[in-house]
Amino acid sequence: MTLKSIWVDYCENGSIHGLRHIIQKDEKPWMRFIWVLLLIVASIAIVVLVSASWEKYSYSSMEITVDDPRYPITKIDFPAVTICPISKIMYSKALDLVLNKYSNDSDLRIKWANSLQALSRIQFPHNTNLYFILQNKSTVNIPLNDISDLMLKLAPSIEDIFKKCIWRGAMYKCKDILRFQRTEEGFCYSFNSQTAERNVNDQSQINPPLIGSDGVLIPLRNNAAGKGTGLSLIMSNMSDSFFPNDNRRRGFN
């Protein structure tokens, strides 16, 4: 079965209108030409319309319509807010807990510095970038079971990241309303998140979401809309927490 016979069979039995008129031998040449021309015009029109529709879909802004603008805001759970530092390891902690231990062994110190710099950049799904960062650099073979504990010790704490935390106009200790959160971005801190760690900062009786009598987590809710309500966080300037040769942007995600 040749390619030509397959094409003829498709034109004769296909659902595209007009193809069978092109291959019919008893059809007049000018009629076949007209059908070819019509199919070309139709194909161009389809491409133009699909392209225009896709462009409109891609660049159109999202529209949110409020079903009932008078619905009480006190009946809506306040959304979870998660803050992640760009650098997953503080350079000052890396110095104190790891690097300064090898001040007399420059080779081992460099290996640890390279390894910690790579760990400070861990971020899914961009972990493949670590290959290029570590290319032609010597590192320490850290056991997989120890990496998480090491990262926890070297990661910025709540006190390192947050200066002030305000909820519904009242000042709170940041550790009382924020929880440790494991994310694809790395180790972060969350407010009002039902997936945050429950074994960290549980000594606080107000750390959201609260646990109801039936064991169900109850997120906090706002009582008003506008400036001065909801959650306000004042962050620390963590520019000095990066390794000296780390040229990434400073800030948070």
DSSP element (H, E) containing 182 = strand 179-183
Domain limits of the chain?
Answer: 3-59, 72-87+156-253, 90-155
Give which of 195, 187, 192, 221 is closest to 207, Cα–Cα. 192
- For residue 204, what pLDDT is reported? 66
Residue 216 neighbours by CB distance under 10 Å: 10
DSSP per-residue letters across 129-142 = HHHHHSTT------
Q: How far apart are CA 187 and CA 155, in angstroms?
A: 8
- For residue 202, what pLDDT is reported? 56
Average confidence (pLDDT) per 10 residues, the chain, 253 residues? 74 73 76 84 91 80 73 89 91 91 89 88 68 79 88 92 93 92 90 83 70 85 84 90 83 83
Provide the token pair at 104.
Answer: 């007399």
Q: How far apart are CA 245 and CA 154, in angstroms?
A: 18
State the distance between the two ends of the chain, measured CA to CA, in whole angstroms.
59
Q: Answer for the pair 161, 235: CB distance below 8 angstroms, yes or no.
A: yes
Q: Which sign, positive or negative, has the C-alpha torsion 185, 209, 217, 69?
A: negative
